[in-house]
Chains A and B, each alone.
Chain A
Amino acid sequence: MGGNVGYQLDFSVVWDALPSLLWACLGTIGLAVSGMLLAIVIGVGGVMLRDSRFKPARWAVMAFVELIRNTPFLVQIFFIFFALPLIGLRLDPTPTAILALGINGGAYAIEIIRGGVQSIGKGQIEAGLALGLHKAQVFRLIVLKPALRAIFPSLTSQFVLLTLTTSVASAISAYELTSVAQQIESNTFRSFEVYGTITVFYLVMSWLLMRVFDQISRRYFSYPVK
C-alpha cells in the first residue's frame, strides 16, 4: 500500500466549481451541435459528389471517408490544429475543434445519408413524377420524410457519439467540459472527484439527448411501415 491510505473523498472543490462545470456542459453541447451541423453539410455535399458523374470527385470522397474512419480523432485534431496556421488560418482552439469534429462526423454522415437516399425506391420517385409533380416537389414531398426517417436513428446516435468525442478536444484546450475539469483538477489535485463528477454529467447529457431524439422520432416519424 502506498501513501494514499486514509485518503478522504472531498467533493467540496467540485461543489465550489459547479457553476463553471455546468457552463462547460453548455460549451460541450455547443461544440457538438456546431460540429454536427458542419458534419451534415459535409455529409450532404459528400453524397452529391460521391454519386456524381465526375470520377475524381467520387474517388476523393471515398478516400476522405476511409482516411477519417481509419485514423484516431486525436491525431486528426492535432493535424488540423497545426495545419490551419500553415494555410494562413488563425483560429482559436474552440473553432478549430468544431472544424475537426465536423470533418470527423462528416465522414460518417456521408455513409449514413447515402444509405438513407438509397433506401428510397426508384418507384417512389417515378410515382411522383407520373402524378405531374416536379423534381423539387418530389424531393420535398415524397423523398425527404422517408429518407429522414431512415437516417434518423443512425444520425442521432452519431450525434451522441460526437458529443462524447468532444472531450478529446481538451487536448487542444477548446472550451468544453473536460478542459474546464482539467483546470480545476490541476488547481485542486482532486482528480477522482472532478473526473467522476463530470463522467456523471456526460452520462446525463447523452441520456437526455437520446430521450429527446426518441420523442422527436415518435412524433414525426410515427407512420407505420410493413
Chain B
Amino acid sequence: MGWNEFAFLLRGLQWTVALSLVGFIGGGVFGLAVALARTSGQPLLERVTAGYIGLFQGTPLLMQLFVVYYGLALIGLKLDAWVAVSIGFTLHASAFLGEIWRGSIQAVPRGQTEAANALSLHYVSRMKDVVLPQAFRISLPATVGFLVQLIKGTSLAAIVGFTELARAGNIVSNQTFKPLLVFAVVGALYFVMCWPLSLYGAHLERRFAAASR
C-alpha cells in the first residue's frame, strides 16, 4: 500500500466525515421536531412519533438505507447515491436523537415547567428559555455517544455502493491484495475519529454524575 492508496483512503475519510455531519445536523433538526412532538402532550402526535422511533430502533440500519435508497428510486426520484444515503442517515439520526432528547426533556424536573407556567410563559418561551437549555445539558453525553454510533454507522453506506472510508478500504484491498493491512489502517482512521469523542462523552457523563450528586 503506497501513498496513492493512502490518499484514496483519506478521500474516503472526507466522505465519511461529510456524511456523518450531514446526518448529524439534519438528524438534529428533525430530531428536535420529533422530540418536541413526542413530548407535546397531544396523544396522536405522541403515538405517531413513538411509532417512528420504534421503527428505526427495531430494524437494522442497513435495511433503513436499502429501503430509503430503493424507495426513492421507486417514486421516480433518480438521485445520486450521495443524496440518497444522506436522506437515509438523516432519518435514522432524527429517530435516535429524537428519543435521546425526549428522555432529556422529560428528565427536566416538572417544577421547571410549572414555574414557567406560573410566570405565564407561553409554549415557545417555556421550551426555548427554560426546558430545552436544561435538557440540552442532560442530553449531551448521550448525544455525543450517538455521534460515535453514527460515524461508525456511515460505514454501511459502503454496502449500498457509496465510496466512503470503508468502501475505499475495500477497493484498495482488492487492488493491493493486502486486506489485513488496509483494514487495519481503515480501522485506525475510524478509531482516531471516534475515540476522542467517546472519551469526551465519558468525561461529560462523569461530570454530570458528580454535579447531580
Binding site for B on A (CB under 8 A): 1-2, 4-5, 7, 9, 66-67, 69-76, 78-79, 82-83, 86, 160, 164-168, 170-171, 178, 191-192, 195-196, 198-199, 202-203, 206-207
Bound-state Cα–Cα, A9 to B67, Å: 14
Verify A178–B60 contact, CB threshold 8 A: yes
B:134-181 near A, CB below 8 Å:
148, 152-153, 155-156, 158-159, 166, 169-170, 173, 179-180
- Which segment, of B84-92, B99-107, B190-198, faces chain A? B190-198
Known A67-B191, A83-B180; judge A73-B152 contact (CB<8 A).
Answer: yes
Which residues of B lie under 8 Å from residue A71 when comparing CB positions?
A: 152, 187, 190-191, 194
Min C-beta distance of A41 to chain B, whole Å: 24
Q: What are 12 pairs between A and B in contact, CB < 8 Å?
A: A2-B77, A4-B75, A67-B187, A70-B152, A70-B198, A72-B152, A74-B156, A74-B158, A167-B60, A168-B60, A191-B66, A199-B59
Cβ-closest 3 pairs across A and B? A72-B155, A70-B194, A167-B60
Contact of B62 among A78, A168, A203, A207 (CB under 8 A): A168
Counted as pairs of residues, one from A and one from B, with CB atoms less than 8 Å apart, the total is 120
The residue of chain A having its C-beta at the shortest distance from the C-beta of B159 within the complex is: A171
The residue of chain A having its C-beta at the shortest distance from the C-beta of B74 within the complex is: A192
Verify B179–A78 contact, CB threshold 8 A: yes
Which residues of A lie under 8 Å from residue B44 when comparing CB positions?
A: none
Verify A70–B148 contact, CB threshold 8 A: yes
Known A7-B74, A72-B152, A82-B180; judge A203-B59 contact (CB<8 A).
Answer: yes
Bound-state Cα–Cα, A78 to B5, Å: 18
Chain B 47-83: CB-based contact to A (< 8 A → 1; otherwise 0): 0000000010111111110110011011111100000
Contact of B198 among A5, A7, A69 (CB under 8 A): A69
Which residues of A lie under 8 Å from residue B159 when comparing CB positions?
A: 74, 168, 170-171
Verify A167–B63 contact, CB threshold 8 A: yes
Which residues of B lie under 8 Å from residue A178 when comparing CB positions?
A: 60, 62-63
Bound-state Cα–Cα, A207 to B179, Å: 37
B15 within 8 A of A: no
The residue of chain A having its C-beta at the shortest distance from the C-beta of B63 within the complex is: A199
Bound-state Cα–Cα, A2 to B74, Å: 10
Given A66-B195, A202-B59, 7 more pairs with CB closer than 8 A: A70-B152, A70-B191, A78-B170, A170-B159, A178-B62, A202-B58, A203-B58
Bound-state Cα–Cα, A86 to B187, Å: 18
Verify B180–A86 contact, CB threshold 8 A: yes
Min C-beta distance of A168 to chain B, whole Å: 6
Verify B184–A192 contact, CB threshold 8 A: no
Bound-state Cα–Cα, A2 to B78, Å: 6
Bound-state Cα–Cα, A66 to B148, Å: 12
B186 within 8 A of A: yes
Min C-beta distance of B55 to chain A, whole Å: 7
Which residues of B lie under 8 Å from residue A9 when comparing CB positions?
A: 74
The residue of chain A having its C-beta at the shortest distance from the C-beta of B158 within the complex is: A74
Verify B166–A72 contact, CB threshold 8 A: yes
Which residues of B lie under 8 Å from residue A203 when comparing CB positions?
A: 55, 58-59
Contact of B67 among A75, A76, A79, A195 (CB under 8 A): A195
B6 within 8 A of A: no
Min C-beta distance of B148 to chain A, whole Å: 7
The residue of chain A having its C-beta at the shortest distance from the C-beta of B79 within the complex is: A2
Most buried by B among A83, A164, A165: A164
